[in-house]
């Protein structure tokens, strides 16, 4: 794939895995649009990426259908859509402590958001285009406090398979990361983040937790491989085995 001819929307591209993917695609010459809810974070990401002329930013809340529809009206033609967005603050709780509002935010960001991106974005894609979403290890190795995230990740995997059939020949896939050192762990583990990640690193067959670049590589594969659709690509250091 000649990335210099590709226009890619990355929702959640202002930090973590999305930012790593944006950097990778820009280095290959693609035209990249990073989107998110916070204008300040997007501006910081643009500066961190060196403010190249092939980079745009867009403010959008993908849980709002009117905003998603307006986004695609503004940006026009695309080749690929990626979403790494996840609002999990307050979601990792034992069952008696779960607040419905926190659970709803996970559903809105990781399920309804991708659904709306597909609904309004697919008409902007060519037959060789793709949509790629991010689920996660919790769907396959659930743990206490992770029931909401596990359920939503599993639902997203099912959505990907259904959309791959309905939207064909447009390809629809997901990446399922394991434990990756991103800012999201500040919500999950707080000041115990480093110790928590170090303990998991000792368990994993690869001997380390993931980096945002590991997931960016996997998403880049799915963008470029024209014979892969309806798949959930597991990139988790062997976590399902440990």
Q: 162-201: string of b/e by CB count within 10 Å (b at 16+)? A: ebbeebeebbbbbbbbbbbbbebbeebeeeebeeebeebb
Q: Which residues contact 127 (CB under 8 A, 6 or more apart)?
A: 169, 170
Are 61 and 83 spatial neighbours (Cβ–Cβ below 8 Å)?
no
d(CA 65, CA 156): 18
Which residues are designated catalytic?
A: 135
Neighbours of 66 (CB within 10 A): 9
């Amino acid at each position: 794939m000649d990335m210099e001819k590709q226009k890619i929307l990355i929702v959640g591209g202002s930090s973590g895995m999305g930012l790593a993917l944006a950097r990778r695609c820009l280095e290959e010459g693609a035209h990249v649009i990073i989107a998110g809810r916070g204008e300040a974070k997007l501006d910081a990401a643009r500066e961190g990426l060196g403010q190249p002329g092939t980079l745009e930013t867009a403010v959008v809340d993908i849980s709002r259908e009117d905003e998603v529809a307006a986004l695609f009206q503004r940006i026009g033609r695309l080749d690929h859509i990626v979403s790494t967005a996840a609002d999990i603050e307050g979601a990792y709780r034992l069952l008696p402590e779960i607040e419905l509002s926190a659970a709803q935010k996970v559903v809105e960001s990781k399920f309804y958001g991708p659904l709306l991106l597909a609904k309004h974005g697919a008409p902007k894609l060519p037959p060789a285009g793709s949509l790629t979403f991010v689920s996660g290890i919790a769907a396959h190795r659930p743990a206490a406090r992770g029931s909401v995230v596990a359920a939503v990740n599993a639902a997203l995997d099912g959505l990907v398979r259904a959309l791959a059939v309905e939207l064909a020949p447009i390809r629809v896939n997901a990446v399922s990361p394991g434990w990756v050192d991103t800012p999201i762990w500040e919500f999950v583990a707080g000041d115990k983040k480093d110790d928590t990640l170090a303990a998991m690193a000792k368990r994993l067959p690869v001997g380390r937790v993931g980096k945002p670049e590991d997931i960016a590589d996997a998403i880049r594969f799915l963008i470029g491989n024209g014979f892969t659709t309806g798949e959930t690509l597991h990139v988790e250091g062997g976590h399902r085995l440990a």
